[in-house]
Structure 1
Amino acid sequence: MAKFVDQNAFGIIGIGRFGLALANELLDSGKHVIALDKDESRLQPLKNKMRDLYRIDSLTKEALGETGIGDCAAAVVCIGKDLESNLLATLNLIELGIPRVISKAISDDHGLLLKKLGAEVVYPEVDMGTRLAWSLTTKNALDFLALNDNFSIVELELSHEFDGKSLKELNFRNRFGLNVITVIRDGKADADIRPDTVLCGGAIIVVAGNNEKLHAFQEFNAKHA
């Protein structure tokens, strides 16, 4: 018999600043959240927004299972400095058969251990620092997502240099070495990107590629803003 998975449910262990922000974002998106922390006071900010709050002293597989977190589509371990608790929670969430287990890491070695357990790894402080650096140094960049050390996705506002020109006319892919994922005009996203797709100044474009090529494209775009 297949294991039941609630695709709308997400578990969070550790309600510090990162965990609280994550919980609020998921709740605002209409998701069902199960939140756990050993410190009941950390659960207080969520009491008026959700019902599945658990103060938990033990991170054993059995204790975690009793909260219902094992039925979640994904669970995130937001415990930071207590490495033993972080690793134990991660291991037991994986043992519960949760499809996606994502854990916060505070160092490369810590992240390596988490990956060996089978978890996805996030580095919140590093990611936020990188996003801030891009926003400070890159004109017209609206958002940024690093997929690995060399490849990223960037959302930015196009300059009028591109107004009325198609991707084919611009020879966009060969010229800039980037893939256009989406073009957003008047709040409407067009993901059906073709060679004859016409760009316009002021539109939002989402592009993916090598970081060096992304920087070069952004500098070109900024010069013609």
Structure 2
Amino acid sequence: MKIIIFGLGNFGMSLAVNLTETGNEVIGIDNDMNKVNMVKHQISHAICMDATNEMAYQALPVKDADLAVIAIGENEGAAIITTAIIKKLSQARIIGRSLSPIHDTVLNAMGIETIIHPEQDFADRLAKKINLKGIVDNFSIDKNYSISEIKAVPDFTGKTLEELAFRQTYNLHVVTIIRKQARKSIIGTTSQIDQSEGFITKDSIIMEDDLLVVFGLNKDIGKFCNRYQQKKR
């Protein structure tokens, strides 16, 4: 994909680098030359320009872009103006970063379907990790459902998913299993990495230290984690 990211702060820069590493052509834009210099060798193109100046877009291939991410994180006015210019000049899908409830309202009024709140989303995920012991990571699907990485209860070791009857017992669906795998570096040292087991079946066996990626209602995930804690006591 051809992606333009406006705003190269911590969030925008990390996103630009990750998208480049996964095979996308990424143009990163910021009005701070220091930020542009920091990332210019890690992404396809890095440009220093004022994104609120419509004339500056003449040399920018906005019409060829598949996606534009407005990741500006400090100046709400600049973010809104940039969004408006992209809406005018391009048919690209737009992802807008919102900085406030009013910003949400403006982006909705502009017809931006994908609105993100990186700080709020991270805080929500961190709160779940703190409150629900056993959760390693969590991704909310909506206000009721989540996908969570949960440490396998020691009692599960050596048992199959069919034996554990996850759906019937916990009302949770196990999507996959993440397992520690040994990997050798080019200098011969060995390290442990997390690796998905891919598509799993009822015969898949849970091993010690496995992470279970489960999908279900937040309340059911919470019940499972509470039961997990009771087993540890």
TM over 0.5: yes
Match of 1:224, SS? Answer: helix
Superposed CA RMSD in Å reads 2.6
| 8 Å contact from structure 2 (residues 31, 49) kept in 1 | yes
The alpha carbon displacement at 1:111 in A equals: 2.1
Q: Which residue in the other structure is 2:108 paired with?
A: 115
Match of 1:43 among 32, 36, 40: 36
Q: Which residue in the other structure is 1:129 paired with?
A: 123
Q: Which residue in the other structure is 1:177 paired with?
A: 171
The gaps in structure 2 that reach 5 residues or longer are: 182-194
- Comparing 208-217 and 40-49, the one that deviates more: 40-49
Give, in whole Å, the separation in 1 of the partners of 2:115 and 2:173.
26
Give, in whole Å, the separation in 1 of the partners of 2:67 and 2:126.
27
The alpha carbon displacement at 1:34 in A equals: 0.4
Match of 1:164 among 158, 166, 184: 158
**How do residues 1-225 of structure 1 correspond to structure 2 at under 5 angstroms?**
7=1, 9-50=2-43, 52-59=45-52, 63-64=56-57, 66-95=59-88, 96-98=90-92, 100-116=93-109, 117-187=111-181, 188-225=195-232
Using a 3 Å threshold, how does the CA distance of structure 1 residues 61 and 155 change in structure 2: closer, same or farther? farther
- Comparing 16-25 and 187-196, the one that deviates more: 187-196
Using a 3 Å threshold, how does the CA distance of structure 1 residues 18 and 201 change in structure 2: closer, same or farther? same
Give, in whole Å, the separation in 2 of the partners of 1:146 and 1:168.
26
| 8 Å contact from structure 2 (residues 96, 112) kept in 1 | no
Identical aligned residues as a percent: 27
The gaps in structure 1 that reach 5 residues or longer are: 1-6
Give, in whole Å, the separation in 2 of the partners of 1:61 and 1:210.
46
Using a 3 Å threshold, how does the CA distance of structure 1 residues 219 and 53 change in structure 2: closer, same or farther? same
The alpha carbon displacement at 1:51 in A equals: 5.3
**TM-score, normalisation: structure 2:** 0.79
Using a 3 Å threshold, how does the CA distance of structure 1 residues 109 and 171 change in structure 2: closer, same or farther? farther
Give, in whole Å, the separation in 2 of the partners of 1:94 and 1:101.
8
The alpha carbon displacement at 1:105 in A equals: 0.8
Using a 3 Å threshold, how does the CA distance of structure 1 residues 70 and 176 change in structure 2: closer, same or farther? farther
Aligned pairs, number:
217
The alpha carbon displacement at 1:78 in A equals: 1.0
Give, in whole Å, the separation in 2 of the partners of 1:145 and 1:175.
22
- Comparing 159-168 and 59-68, the one that deviates more: 59-68
The alpha carbon displacement at 1:196 in A equals: 3.6
Give, in whole Å, the separation in 2 of the partners of 1:61 and 1:197.
56
**TM-score, normalisation: structure 1:** 0.81
